[in-house]
Chain A
Amino acid sequence: MNSEPRVALSRPVADEVRKTTCYMCACRCGINVHLKDGKIRYIEGNRDHPVNRGVLCAKGSAGIMQHYAPARLRAPLKRVGPRGFGQFQEISWEEALSTATEWLGHVRHTDPKKLAFFTGRDQSQSLTGFWAQQFGTPNYAAHGGFCSVNMAAAGIMTLGGAFWEFGAPDWDRTKLFVMFGVAEDHDSNPIKMGIGKLKQRGARFVSVNPVRTGYSAVADSWIGIRPGTDGLLILSVVHELLKARKIDVDYLVRYSNASWLVIDAPGTAEHGLFARDGEGRVQVYETVTERPVPVGTKGARAALSGRFELADGRFAVPSFQLLAEKYLDPKYAPEAVTEETGVAADVIRGLAAEIARVAFDETIIVEQPWTDVNGERHPYFVGRPVSFHAMRGLSAHSNGFQTARALHMLQVLIGAVDCPGAFRFEPPYPKPMTAHPTPHGKAEHFGSDKPLSGPHLGFPRGPEDLLVDAEGKPTRIDKAFSWDAPIAAHGMMHMVIANAHAGDPYPIDVLFMYMANMAWNSSMNTAGTMKMLTDKDPETGEYRIPKIIYSDAYSSEMVAYADLVLPDTTYLERYDCISLLDRPISEPDAVQDAIRWPVLEPDRDVRAFQTVLLDLGARLKLPGFADNHGHPLYKDYADYIVRHERRPGIGPLAGFRGTNGDKAGRGAANPDQLERYIENGSFFSAHIPLEAQFMKHANQAYQDFAVRMGFFDTPQPVTFQLYLEPLQKFRLSAEGLREPVAPETHRDRILQAFDPLPQWYRPFGEALVDREAYPYHAITQRPAAMYHSWGSMNAWLRQIHTKNPLYVPGPICDEFGLVDGDWVWVTSSHGRIKVEIARMEAVNSRTMWTWNAIGKRAGTWALDANAPEATKGFLMNHLINELLPPRSDGMRWSNSDPITGQAAWYDLRVRIEKAEAGAVSEPHFPTVAQPEPEPHPSVLRYGQEWAT
């Protein structure tokens, strides 16, 4: 029978393919945008792109619906009604920009710190940070403080790099991969590709996560740990490894500060600091000649234990002695931590056993001679194929910094950092803490009409680098780098609105934000935040936060709270650079950066925020943005990307530099650079020579390569800091032994948290509430098909997560007589929510959870007000306060890690009770008006015109 219809098998997909970089989440994958009749026909992964190798996630493929979403803002807006109601008038760009210039110019002239400029899911931080620095306000940061600064800071201070953008598991070689709570919208395609590789090779995948969804669902072994106890689990594994003598002593001696001598002089200002000679060189104890010698002395055989007399008569011990004594303590035995972690002792011991077996019995060799930074030649690379990965699950706790430190310590102890099969650095990392700047923002760092004297963000080496005044009061609006959060390396965006509202440490005039949904899912205490944004000073009748400028591409919840809205483009309508100066996309074997370019022209009166920022910079005549005559230095962001130089020959993009475009890393600006990127698929990749691919922290070939590429001007090898001296400096200040001394109010807290060796303490949010009254944990998980709140305006993605139930463990359901679809009140020490539940067994039995940021405020994102996102969806944020419960003296700490200020989202404790069924989840807020929404169709037939 040959009556089968003929099918058009070889229709061309589209008229044209344009290659750019995705922005549907933070992965920054390469995409091929197929255009047909001027519309997007199809978006697929770019096979040549090093990040995603052709694959693309649900979000990436849904880019079509993001680009054409009715929620796109269409023109600059000026608020005409009261704040928070969404009543706006469309204005011209000229009016918008001159208004902003007037507001900002006044602040810059009178008191620059009265501008708070904070950016959210910003991928242009090297520009926004530079702009803020040139403006001269001390108050700038991106969203890292409420995201993963614990991870980043602990990684950089310990290893010189952390997970994700600083390093990745060696997916092709690792034999045991252990993953701790990971957000599935960060680095998601590389992790999924990596898991695919593990599965193909039969490597073992262990997941530590209270919830067994997503990646954890396919893990060979799952450890359903209690939130906030990962550090204790890790230290117990360390205890077992030490007891079993399963550590890489050679690696420790060579690459860590295990042998560095720590002064043992209690009650003095140098107790616990490293012993240094007259030239400031750290000392080790040489066991053959039996005397202290400087680190790096050729042929020295350094002791790892013992107590030795220094030249000045004081005594010192190798830091490793302190480490071993600490973790061999039976309080870290698996049996001792079982109750707190909820993990059986045999499982902890089994994990330690597997780590030990794979690290030491399944060692791999990469036959490639190399030379270390001490000039020693090695015949090959030794690989300990145990790798780790972690993200917010560890990070978003008030003990997250120390937990992340514990994990990095474990990696170093088994010799599994940047060797074959282990976690490997991605250039320009590793980069020692000492190569990072110290923070700037003290009173002497800024002033009227002048730039800040250095970068806002960095790493204080000790209390002397804190951004505080003579009384110890914070100089930044978010109190980052103050005694509250001394190593707040990414700032503390989650505290800005609360502090500005309270006028503590001072009131501000203009709040300027970009892509940060602070009036909704990006804030703790969401209802309170909305109130703070609309609260007026009864004396003046003015808003307490007088002026709010906000830039976003979509009508998010935050838009309604702005006085001036600067509409951004979609990611397909703009230039961007994914820069090595910012958050790089390199791989362990290659240096990489990328661009976006306008593959479609905007059909609305919108402008790319970066171009707007350059325009504002020029209008404000900021140095670096306007020339001596006040003329703009750059036409737009594309021009800036090509011509801006941070250091001579070092610009935002590393590829195709030099007048011929043949230079990588360092080189003159190339006017054709963007064209070259576009021809190359919008990315640049330079392979690291094999000799330089491993042990980068101590590999001479890599260090030379890094200098050649312009990451550093001189080699910057890293010695892993198991013992973290800067923390001890803070302790000495808290003991009143070292200047500047810590304020009385902060001393206990610093002494408790700033252990120079990784430690575990119960998260504050948990420790400070009645554990009986709030017996359960409540956390969120990131769905793989959504990126934060972005996705609900997307007609395809919202069908996958139209609302979010609260997933309640089976035993709790049984105890409270709950079945799917029942409603409950969930109460924390801060607030309560009423939500629908669903039962789940594959979860820690004390932990309830929901998907993050699915709930939306009625009237936003161009959704109908009765959309399930607004009626049944909910935020856990309402249960979380930005402040911890008051202490006995009435003082309230921020709900953050005491070291880094990282927002402690996951410290939440709750109780649950059955509620009457409801029509809407609570709290429910009044519907906001849509700012001139595009009319949206009742039926969507995307691509019907191409139907055959």
Chain B
Amino acid sequence: MTTLPALPTPKKLGLVIDLDTCVGCHACVVSCKEWNTGGYGSALSDQDPYGADVSGAWLNRVHSFEVVPEGGEVVGEAGQARIVHFPKSCLHCEDAPCVTVCPTGASYKRSADGIVLVDEDKCIGCGLCAWACPYGAREMDLAAGVMKKCTLCIDRIYNETLEEVDRVPSCVRTCPASARHFGDLGDPNSAVSKLVAERGGMDLMPEQGTRPVNKYLPPRPRKSLAESAHTLPLAENTEGARGFFAWLDGMLDRI
């Protein structure tokens, strides 16, 4: 059933990704690959794995962007251009265009928690859902001929054989910097919802009208060191060492 759930799903499970904290280490990328290649659905294959044209199916990739502010502060020989590491996986959109285009019903959005999934037994590998997704969140597995995408580790988050603390997506569990958060974004009192409210969590490409569930926390403004320069107190006598030693003697008397 490729129509979207008629009512808002009672839960909106998703990720909150902190762009102010992500150091671009790719831990989530590989952990995702590792979990999912042996997990839900077929393996995530790699083509020409040891050759010139190596490529593979990944459900989560970290891009790096360079952002150059207009008229940024120039600090010596280095300007204010900055790098932002940008992990990207399925955003589990509320108006998921990838779901409605699917001709076979393989793509669906779960009515219970809003997770967008592919039922691989039904997938014919036409690729239309990947076209419909503005974010590039779906990748065809070239060996299996079916579409792969982030499942939010559905085989972890409800997995009763795992300890409760481990019932989170693999990427979240492994993130060393705690830049990834998982929870119910439909519940305004959840930790992730509060984080989004507090930090001004944003949608990617809101103009596409997809209403993503996953949110991104924007990088915080950088702090200028130069602005602190004037706060360094100037001693009464700044000429050479003599005044310094006089002050030092005073200090020693007080110890």
Chains A and B touch (C-beta atoms under 8 A apart): yes
Is A41 an interface position by the 8 A CB rule?
A: yes
Residue of B nearest to A840 (CB): B66
Question: Given A196-B179, A350-B232, A844-B77, 8 other A-B contacts at CB below 8 A?
Answer: A5-B122, A224-B77, A287-B252, A343-B76, A350-B228, A939-B45, A943-B38, A948-B41
User: Quick check: is A769 within 8 A (CB to CB) of the other chain?
Assistant: no
Q: CB distance A940 to B76 under 8 Å?
A: no
Residue of B27, B229, B252 touching A61 (CB-CB under 8 A)? B27
Which residues of B have CB within 8 Å of A840? 66
Chain B residue numbers with a CB within 8 Å of A863 are 50-51
In this assembly, does B191 line the interface, its C-beta being within 8 Å of a C-beta of chain A? Answer: no
Residue pair A199, B45 in contact (C-beta under 8 Å): no
Contact of A11 among B42, B159, B240 (CB under 8 A): B159
17 of the cross-chain contacts (CB-CB < 8 Å) are: A13-B161, A56-B27, A61-B33, A192-B177, A195-B21, A196-B176, A199-B21, A341-B76, A343-B77, A349-B226, A354-B228, A784-B26, A800-B29, A867-B50, A939-B48, A939-B143, A944-B43
Which residues on the B side are within 8 Å of A215 (C-beta)?
Answer: 23
Q: Which of B79, B110, B234 contacts A841 (CB 8 A)?
A: B79
Residues on B with C-beta less than 8 A from A193 are 176-178
Which of B132-140, B205-213, B217-225 forms part of the interface with chain A? Answer: B217-225
CB < 8 Å neighbour of A324 from B68, B144, B245: B245
A residues 275-332 touching B (CB-CB < 8 Å): 287, 301, 303-306, 321, 324-325, 328
Q: Are A842 and B83 in contact (CB under 8 A)?
A: yes
Q: Does any Cβ of B come within 8 Å of A242's Cβ?
A: yes
5 residue pairs, one from A and one from B, having the closest CB atoms? A224-B78, A943-B38, A350-B225, A841-B81, A342-B77
By size class, the interface of chain A is 35 or more
Interface string of B102-145 (1 = CB under 8 A from A): 00010010110000010101100000000000000000001110
Tell yes or no: A877 within 8 A of B by CB: no
User: With an 8 A cutoff between CB atoms, is A10 at the interface?
Assistant: yes
Minimal beta-carbon separation of B160 from chain A (angstroms):
5
Convert A39-77 into 0s and 1s, putting 1 for each residue whose CB lies closer than 8 angstroms to a CB of B. Answer: 001111101000010111111111010000010000000
* B43–A943 CB distance below 8 A: yes
Closest to A193 in B: B176
CB closest residue in chain B, given A304: B248
Chain A residues, Cβ within 8 Å of B78: 210, 212, 222-225, 342, 842-845
Q: Which stretch in A243-251, A561-569, A608-616, A660-668 binds the other chain?
A: A243-251
In the complex, are the beta carbons of A212 and B54 less than 8 A apart?
no
Name the CB-closest residue of A to B162: A13
How far is the CB of A164 from the nearest CB of chain B, in Å? 16
CA distance A226 to B238 in the complex (A): 29
Of all chain A residues, which has the CB nearest B106?
A5
B interface footprint on A176-201 (CB within 8 Å = 1, 0 otherwise): 00000000100011001101110110
B55 touches A799 (CB 8 A): yes
Q: A221 to B245, Cβ gap below 8 A?
A: no
- Check if B174 sits within 8 Å of A45, measured CB to CB: yes
A353 touches B175 (CB 8 A): no
Are B225 and A221 in contact (CB-based, < 8 A)? yes
Contact check, A243 vs B235: say whether CB atoms are below 8 A apart.
yes
> Chain A residues with Cβ under 8 A from B158's Cβ?
9-10
Which residues of chain B from 33 to 82 have a CB within 8 Å of any chain A CB? 33-35, 37-52, 54-56, 58, 64, 66, 68, 74-79, 81-82
Contact partner, B235, options A13, A189, A244, A948, Cβ 8 Å: A244
Given that A13-B162, A54-B173, A242-B244 are contacting pairs, would A62 and B83 also be in contact in the complex, using a CB cutoff of 8 Å? no
Q: How far is the CA of A796 from the CA of B234 in the complex (A)?
A: 55
* Of the residues A195, A249, A842, contact of B248 by C-beta under 8 Å: A249
B12: CB under 8 A from chain A?
no
List of B residues within 8 angstroms of A222 by Cβ: 75, 78, 82, 222
Per a CB cutoff under 8 Å, which of B39, B111, B144 touches A4? B111
Query: Which A residues between 496 and 549 are near B, CB-CB below 8 angstroms?
Result: none
- Shortest distance from the beta carbon of B240 to any chain A beta carbon, whole Å: 6
Q: Is the C-beta of A833 less than 8 angstroms from some C-beta in chain B?
A: no
In the complex, what's the smallest C-beta–C-beta distance from A361 to chain B, in angstroms? 10
Are B83 and A213 neighbours in the complex by a CB distance under 8 Å?
yes
Q: Is A887 an interface residue (CB 8 A)?
A: no
- A residues 203-240 touching B (CB-CB < 8 Å): 204, 206, 210, 212-226, 240
A470: B residues at CB distance < 8 A = none
Closest chain-B Cβ to A357's Cβ sits at a distance in Å of 6
Identify which of A8, A244, A301 contacts B155 (C-beta below 8 A): A8
Instruction: With both chains docked as a complex, state the minimum distance between the C-beta of B66 and any C-beta of chain A, in angstroms.
Output: 6
Chain A window 763-802, contacts with chain B (Cβ cutoff 8 Å), 1 for yes, 0 for no: 0000000000000000000001100000001011111101
* Residues in B whose Cβ lies below 8 Å from that of A784: 23-27
| A45: nearest chain-B partner, CB-CB | B174
**B176 and A217 contact, CB distance less than 8 A:** no
CB-nearest residue of chain A to B19:
A218
**B225 closest partner in A (C-beta):** A350
B230 surroundings in chain A (CB, below 8 A): 353
Q: Whose C-beta in chain A lies nearest to the C-beta of B233? A: A244
Name the one of B225, B241, B247 contacting A354, with C-beta atoms under 8 angstroms. Answer: B225
Is the pair A350, B229 in contact by a Cβ cutoff of 8 Å?
yes
A58 in contact with B143 (CB, 8 Å): no
From B56, B122, B224, give the contact of A221 (CB < 8 A). Answer: B224
A324-B246 Cα distance, complex, nearest whole Å:
12
Chain A residues lying within 8 Å of B49, measured Cβ to Cβ, are 795, 936-937, 939-940
Task: Tell me the complex Cα distance, A616–B247, Å.
Answer: 65
A942 within 8 A of B: yes
Docked CA distance A188–B52 (Å): 30
Give the Cβ gap from A47 to chain B, nearest Cβ, in Å.
7
Q: B235 contacts A245, CB within 8 Å?
A: yes
What is the CA–CA distance of A224 and B222 in the complex, to the nearest angstrom?
14
- A305 adjacent to B249 (CB under 8 Å): yes
Q: How long is the Cα–Cα vector from A50 to B222 in the complex, in angstroms?
A: 32
C-alpha gap A864/B142 in the complex (Å): 21
